Amino acid sequence: MSTTVRRLLYLGIFALYLLHNDLWLWHDSSLVLGLPVGLVYHIGFCFAAIALMALLVNYAWPTEFDEEEQTP
């Protein structure tokens, strides 16, 4: 696993942390597909978090957690 990819994934965590609170949509009352724009934003945010977590599990998971215990 490249350390560059791992660092980019950790940067993605920080980016999602910053984007979680959508202060710019707080007073926006417009509708998208019949839903408030803030709710649509959080639906998209949830899909982005799902994708990032899947990438983290596949590429940044420590290998020592995958080893099974060997009993003597």
pLDDT band at residue 65 under the 50/70/90 scheme: low
The CA distance from 60 to 3, in Å, is: 9
Give per-residue pLDDT as tens, 1-30: 678 888 899 999 999 999 998 888 888 889
pLDDT at 26: 84
- Tell me which amino acid residue 40 is: V
Contact 59, 2 (CB under 8 A): no
Non-local CB neighbours of 42 within 8 Å, separated by 6+ positions: 22
Any residues with CB less than 8 A from the CB of 65 and at least 6 apart, and which? Answer: none
pTM across the whole model: 0.76
What ranges do the domains of the chain cover?
23-59
Q: What confidence tens digit (pLDDT) does each residue in 33-59 have?
A: 999 998 999 999 999 999 999 998 888
Cα torsion for 20, 21, 26, 32, to the nearest 10°? 0
